[in-house]
Amino acid sequence: MLLFMNTKVSIVIPTKNSALFLKNCLQSIAAQSYKNVEIIIVDGKSTDGTLQLAKKYKCKIYTYIPDVTYGAFDASYKRNYGAAKATGNYIYWVDADMRLQPNLLKEAVRLCQNYDAAIIPEESAGVGIWAMAKNLERRCYWNDDTVESPRFFKKSTWDDIGGLDESLGAGGDDLDLHQKTLEHGYKVTRTKAMVIHDEGNLSLSKLFIKRFRYGRDILKYFYKRPKNSIISFFPIHMAYLRNWRLFVNRPIDTSAFIIMRTTEYLAGFLGIVYSYIEKLFVRPNSSMGIDEYAKKLPQYYDETIPKTLKKYLDSSKYLSLLDCGCGDGSLLFSLKQNNYFTGKRIYAIDLSQSRISLIKKIDPKIRAYVDNAELLHMIKRNSIDFFISSFVIEHVDDKKLLHAAARVLKKNGTAYISTVFKKWYGWYFYRRNGKWVMDMTHLREYSIDEELLSLIDTNTFSLVESIKTQLYFPVIDFILRRFDIKNRKLFVGNVILKIIRDIRIPIPGYYGWEIILRKIK
């Protein structure tokens, strides 16, 4: 046996409910003339038989779910993860819907005795006219270095160039990998053996969705490699002109190809538009850390106090006030500007250390602590006259927050609690668990009064007032967050900017719900 046949190839396959195609993929690997192979499955918690197939073919199985926005492209994360687990001399990343020709690995390993990476040409197979159109397209790309990228690497080369750039998403991570390989001075070759990409029963809608997802990320590659992206993604590709005979010989497939590519470019364009809009409406992640959340969504200060809150502050003879879940301190800033701190003990708690640091800049006399709104360990029992929880209760265990409020409030103390109330037609830009939500980090959005009122202990609190008002959002806040402007005092003392910030849009079906409680026991 030739010496090179003793080196191991690690094949990395990302999966998520991939059983439909995975069997053929694994069978083709088992049928290779080159046998020194380990198969690494990086799975996203499949439920369809994928793992059973992987076990049958004695694959190494790792469960890994990258921390990315729902619906975002995560294959590059899984490929890098699998490569990090590999013990072979070579890395070959394959998709579950690919089938390898019998001598592919043998040829790739042989070539990489003198090269550092290898491009594996792709042939498309599938059912229907769109699969034939895709076959025509892929054949045009054979021997085209502006489209084809290496998938087979020496492990040392892969490690040196750092694998795939995960930040690019689906926007050209494979093309970027090719460029990085060349920039590091490594040599790339191309096999004659091919991999068959099984398109299945391909439909135009599937292609549209796929290209839409790619479009969402494509600008990332453009910003990183503008010249390469223009060459690779320009609609009239040189590969089409070079292979004009293919189009002439397959006129029906050519007609479908024109429709298919037009649809894909339209989908990609819409994906680009969507990505831009998505940046305007910053999308918090439900798994985002509290300090990361605070950084992504700064709260801008002004001098306005909610009318209901002002009404009860003015009528209360409070000496101590707690802002429970104070955030960046926008409300505390307004209270200070309107002289509600004078002669009072002001307390503030938040889970974010960075936010607590901001609070102390508003007024160093504020007793500000990193604490949990559900527990309030840092606040003494029966020490607070006026308790404020402004749009916090929907983020935490509501029952525990109410219990904590009861513990720290003095008898006859006032609690002001505001939250989100959503009517049946409520709509905002984010979706969580199949529903439109105002914030991805909300644990709940109340739609019936009793969902919250029933939790209030009537032996401890009396309900003084319950009022709902339409919620509006300042248009300029979207723009400021889009451009990462974190000057929280931008509107303070600036009449023009205040007028601009008063341009607000109603949030359909969403109301601010203010509840006033008085502690009676």
Do 404 and 504 lie in one domain? The reply is: yes
Check residue 4 and give its pLDDT: 60
Q: Are β-strands 117-119 and 188-190 bridged in parallel, bridged antiparallel, or unpaired?
A: parallel
The CATH number given to whatever domain includes residue 339 is 3.40.50.150
Per-residue pLDDT at 310 exceeds 80: yes
Per-residue pLDDT at 493 exceeds 80: yes
Whether 245 is in a domain gets the answer no
Residues 346-369 pLDDT 10s: 999 999 999 999 999 999 999 999
Alpha helices, H only, 31-172? 50-56, 75-85, 104-111, 129-140, 155-161
Whether 231 is in a domain gets the answer no
Averaged pLDDT for residues 475-493 = 79
Q: Which domain holds residue 405?
A: 290-519
CA distances from 224 to 219, 237, 369 (A): 8, 21, 42
Task: Give the relative orientation of helices 251-280 and 475-482 as an angle to the nearest 10 degrees.
Answer: 110
Do 28 and 167 lie in one domain? The reply is: yes
Alpha helices, H only, 338-462? 353-362, 398-408, 450-453
The CATH number given to whatever domain includes residue 114 is 3.90.550.10
Residue at which a domain ends, from 178, 200, 222: 200
Q: Which of 425, 383, 432, 431 is nearest to 404 (CA)?
A: 383
Whether 164 is in a domain gets the answer yes
- For residue 317, what pLDDT band results from cuts at 50, 70 and 90? very high
Averaged pLDDT for residues 81-96 = 95
How far is 352 from 296, CA to CA, in rounded Å? 13
Q: Which of 117, 42, 39, 40 is nearest to 75 (CA)?
A: 42
Do 299 and 167 lie in one domain? The reply is: no
Residue at which a domain ends, from 200, 230, 259: 200
Q: Which of 404, 405, 388, 399 is nearest to 451 (CA)?
A: 399
Neighbour count for residue 55 (Cβ, 10 Å): 11
Check residue 288 and give its pLDDT: 55
Do 170 and 298 lie in one domain? The reply is: no
Write the DSSP string, 210-226. HHHHHHHHHHHHHHH-H
What rounded mean pLDDT belongs to the chain? 90
Residues 175-210 pLDDT 10s: 999 999 999 999 999 999 999 999 989 999 999 988
- For residue 281, what pLDDT band results from cuts at 50, 70 and 90? low
**Residue 405, SS3 per DSSP:** helix
Residue at which a domain ends, from 145, 179, 200: 200
Whether 172 is in a domain gets the answer yes
Do 387 and 501 lie in one domain? The reply is: yes
Do 40 and 187 lie in one domain? The reply is: yes
Sign of the C-alpha dihedral, residues 327, 333, 339, 344? positive
Whether 260 is in a domain gets the answer no
For residue 41 the two structure tokens come to: 């499955």
Residues 368-424 pLDDT 10s: 999 999 999 999 999 999 999 999 999 999 999 999 999 999 999 999 999 999 999
Quote the number of domains for the chain. Answer: 2
Query: CB–CB of 387/416 below 8 Å?
Result: yes
